[in-house]
Structure 1
């Protein structure tokens, strides 16, 4: 595997240059080594043992990657989740800075005629990876999403920034019972995230990731109006840590959750892809064509693509981090100001973490 690794005090991140996936992220804190991101169980298996028609992004599935477009590539020919998730990236520059490390990578292919850049930054003493993606030039429009994945040995608890509602698409990921199974009702919608409709007529608590339910499920969370960052927090029980994923809701207005817990019975999944949660912050509908046309998210007032134009560039930012956490309960709220992130918990306690409060550009207007 061709990788590029960047480091700062207390944190290191490696990028798999063959497909642009973050293959490893390690945070050193309180004498522990925290690894918040997932690696597919078949990553070290010979390629010839995997299905021949498998996209390279699935062959090398790990960590986080850029989807452009998200899901189906049905406007410009490309694999699932587009070329940024399935083809090679080159190192443009990678060097230590006064307070950490900064690296820029360029996708060898173009997307809708645009050059695509990935900028990864680390800060000394910050338990976060700060990411920015830039599209330069091109024409038409592109839907995008980040695709971070974490994995839990014994489940965990979830919390979110304020959401308007959660909704499942028309069809489940695995509708054929001979190939897999699912737990949510499709289609369904709920404002109460602790009582989402289930396929059996009951309800499911979206704030609890349980390991006793083998399923593949997917839903979309629509951000509510608020002045802070969009965030997802996962308190992993066995790992005794807290995984944090943050965005600017003006750039990436939806968070899509992929619950992958042994719900696919065919290769390479074979029931062994367990305890995985994808936290997929995006500006997208399901598929490139759907994102560009009329879709249910547009009818809710949300943008589902960025416009591209020759001589112009656009960018969006994203943050992934992790800290030690005992007790298994995620924060009730998250606030950022003056170089700190404050985690507020239900028992009234709070915890401050170093954080680049300017990075997400909250409050700035985003071109539609």
Structure 2
């Protein structure tokens, strides 16, 4: 099998999809809805075909769609963080990569069943992870894609993990709606995600996505992206049932994500709303990340393994792995007409 082809695609009665080797990222995906319309809900970064993108870290180079992160997150400096967070925030591990080795390197194609695409990636010798495997299979009966993800470890370990679906948003402000259903509570980021692009009050909690404490006072509606201000923000949601949907009212469709909540107890919402002004973002990046995670805000392995405030509340921020017990998780992305 030729491992040199960077993209492979599949077509089925209800759509077409592409997977790239870099990060094993899934996009574009075109779904054919029951009324015959074609929709493409997965995001592709606007710089993906720009020549200067080749100099970017792997995860950013052709950022798109959905991919798995092992380990999830990256370390940030503890300066200015609340004390209960600052005391558990360790330094980056040697060779640490944003959202893990899986997000930044070319995977290898594997033999797979007809009608599916499968890839694998070996990890560096010093990692507790031996390899990861991913298989993408369209549902032959409807506009939906099923993904199976496997983590094989060399020795017992604990790691933060996450899935990283990033969805396209319409141009019109507030023309999409996040449909989370009931949840226990949400948390705002305890610091600035991007200095100068803050929207939410630091280190606050909420129970309604349409009423999140705002940095400037009052409440902000985080349920209807794209948002009005130029902002870069994260919210962590706890107590979901393992399903969430994004309704794109401008384009008349709903895309639903479902996952195994025992593997990913939290959901991270990444609002990338023109907030990052530096290259390659250049104030033009508008997308919503809807990311099932076992992690504290993606703050990197050291913080995830420590007794951080989220772990103290009884919510796991790292998964247990063992060579004796194979870790396999399954999730699904499906589309329907509004």
* TMscore range, shorter length: 0.7 to 0.9
1:45 to 1:125, Cα distance in 2 relative to 1, 3 A: same
CA distance in 1, matches of 2:330, 2:143: 17
1:14 aligned onto 2:18: yes
1:280 aligned onto 2:291: yes
What whole-Å deviation, never above 9, does each CA across 1:189-246 have from its counterpart, x for those lacking one? 112322110011010122222442211111100015xxxx422111112221111111
What whole-Å deviation, never above 9, does each CA across 1:332-351 have from its counterpart, x for those lacking one? xxxxxxxxxxxxxxxxxxxx
1:295 aligned onto 2:313: no
Structure-to-structure mapping, 1:91-130, within 5 angstroms: 91-96=109-114, 101-110=115-124, 111-130=127-146
Deviation at 1:76, TM superposition (A): 5.8
CA distance in 1, matches of 2:293, 2:237: 10
Deviates more, 1:153-162 or 1:196-205: 153-162
CA distance in 1, matches of 2:44, 2:227: 18
CA distance in 1, matches of 2:107, 2:234: 29
SS in 1 for 2:116: strand
Structure-to-structure mapping, 1:17-28, within 5 angstroms: 17-28=21-32
Shift >6 Å, 4+ stretches: none
Deviates more, 1:80-89 or 1:310-319: 310-319
CA distance in 1, matches of 2:260, 2:221: 25
What whole-Å deviation, never above 9, does each CA across 1:226-270 have from its counterpart, x for those lacking one? xxx422111112221111111122121100001111111110001
Q: Is the 8 A contact 1:6 1:94 kept in 2?
A: no
Structure-to-structure mapping, 1:312-327, within 5 angstroms: 312-325=325-338
Structure 2 residue aligned with 1:134: 150
Query: Aligned pairs, how many?
Result: 309
Deviates more, 1:302-311 or 1:314-323: 302-311
CA distance in 2, matches of 1:251, 1:109: 21
Give 1:230's match in structure 2, choosing from 242, 246, 264. 242
What whole-Å deviation, never above 9, does each CA across 1:276-303 have from its counterpart, x for those lacking one? 1000111112211111111122112122
SS in 1 for 2:111: strand
Structure 1 residue aligned with 2:83: none
1:33 aligned onto 2:49: no
CA distance in 2, matches of 1:24, 1:93: 22
What whole-Å deviation, never above 9, does each CA across 1:113-133 have from its counterpart, x for those lacking one? 321111212221222211121
CA distance in 2, matches of 1:210, 1:118: 31
Q: Is the 8 A contact 2:53 2:62 kept in 1?
A: no
Q: Is the 8 A contact 2:144 2:332 kept in 1?
A: yes
CA distance in 1, matches of 2:323, 2:292: 26
Structure 2 residue aligned with 1:245: 257
Q: Is the 8 A contact 1:51 1:267 kept in 2?
A: no
Structure 2 residue aligned with 1:168: 188
Structure-to-structure mapping, 1:244-263, within 5 angstroms: 244-263=256-275
Give 2:229's match in structure 1, choosing from 207, 213, 218. 213
SS in 2 for 1:163: coil
Structure 1 residue aligned with 2:163: 146
What whole-Å deviation, never above 9, does each CA across 1:70-129 have from its counterpart, x for those lacking one? 111634623200111110111112332xxxx23321013355232111121222122221
Structure 2 residue aligned with 1:361: none
> Structure 1-normalised TM-score?
0.79
CA distance in 2, matches of 1:149, 1:113: 25
CA distance in 2, matches of 1:311, 1:210: 45
CA distance in 2, matches of 1:116, 1:76: 20
1:306 aligned onto 2:311: no
CA distance in 1, matches of 2:111, 2:122: 15
CA distance in 1, matches of 2:7, 2:226: 34
Structure 2 residue aligned with 1:157: 177
Q: Is the 8 A contact 2:234 2:270 kept in 1?
A: yes
Q: Is the 8 A contact 1:84 1:107 kept in 2?
A: yes
SS in 1 for 2:102: helix
Structure 2 residue aligned with 1:72: 74
Structure 2 residue aligned with 1:202: 218
CA distance in 1, matches of 2:123, 2:264: 23
